Amino acid sequence: MTATLPNAGRGELAPGGADAPLTRAVGPAYSHAALDGVRGIAAQVVFFGHALNLSLHAHLPENLVVVTAWTSRLAVMVFFALSGFVVALSLRRLSSGKAGGASWTTDYAIHRVARILPPLVLAVAVSMAVGWLGKSGLVDLVDVRSAELTTGPLAFVRGITLTFLPTDATFAVDGPLWSLRQEVFLYVVAGLLAFATVRRGVLGWITAACACAAAAIVSTRFFYPQSLALFGCGALAALYGTRPIVLKCARSPAVPLTLCAILLAPIALAGSAPRFAEALSADRLFLTFQLTTAPVIALGLLRVAVPESGADGSLARLQPLARYAYTLYVLHNPLLLASISIASQLGWAANPVSAATMGLIAVALTQAIAYAGALALEQPTVFRRWILAFLSRPGAAIPRVRA
């Protein structure tokens, strides 16, 4: 890996791609377009998995539920590793002496806010509206206890700050945001560790201790150990990916074979076992298995990111999918839930054929709305400029921030 990172900060992503496409953001050692392709595919896998489960919730065979549940989870796991891969490179560049000295921490925070917040605000607003429709009795939301939803101003604030409660419409209607909340936590931990490596002395040790304490505090909470492992392995793969021994491991034929086994083994073992989706998030053995996949997933990303591997060509062709991956990820669930619930309430999804038809219409509408939303809101350069202007106003006491 090279020490120089052109246009750092343009490619870090939350699950679903909370940032602009990775092109020109990762550095000359890696294939930017291939990583974009991975990001776009992962977002579509999550989207179609949820669309299939929602539209055919009353008709879907149990074994197909197993497939969609596991592939969706695996796509989210790829997001965590990919995020660690890119954020590590960005932090390495930002924290270097050429990146503005001590102000890099402020710059890092501004990058994160400018990328994550605008589509998130839209997603929370839509979730609140859908939750209100359900709570008021206007729409019978599929698989949601509408009467218990909280949709007030405080719930909205909790949504955009990712501190939502289980009864908030943000969480009940837009469940995929659980991974974005963990992603933001990982951003903070990564920033603390980067600061600790740059700032020597007592302050550096205190910062490192804070990062370790934060990780320890959440170590017993759902999926945090897994996301920490995935993010960390992705970061290590990026930072040490050009070392011969690491490259040799990534290029080994065992990596794609192991990835195939990771994909197929849970499906084959579960078959049509009942409550597979619940076991996916509750069974300790299964969660441990997901944690142990982190090194292989990280090596798989490194394998496609190295141009010489020859694995990046087909993925690069899917790069356009990354242009709206983040907005699609945070926005798709409330849109799908609303459209499919309305269709069910009107009797337009009474049988598998009509349900599938309504599902396809919902998919097309959601894709179109997410794409349009991304054109307007996935503009990190614009929002970053606004944030800088706000922080640079007279009387704003902040460290100097790079323009």
Q: Where are the domains of the chain?
A: 32-391
Residue 200: what pLDDT?
77
Residue 46: what pLDDT?
97
Instruction: Walk along the chain (403 residues) in steps of 10 and give the mean pLDDT of each run.
Output: 33 46 51 89 96 88 86 96 94 70 80 94 97 93 88 95 94 94 96 88 90 94 96 96 91 93 85 73 90 96 80 77 96 96 92 94 97 94 88 62 48
Angle at 87 between CA 86 and CA 92, to 5 degrees: 105
Residue 5: what pLDDT?
32
If you search the block for the tokens 């969660």, which residue do you land on? 287
Residue 57: what pLDDT?
81
Residue 398: what pLDDT?
53
Residue 397: what pLDDT?
52
The pTM of this model reads 0.88
Residue 309: what pLDDT?
57
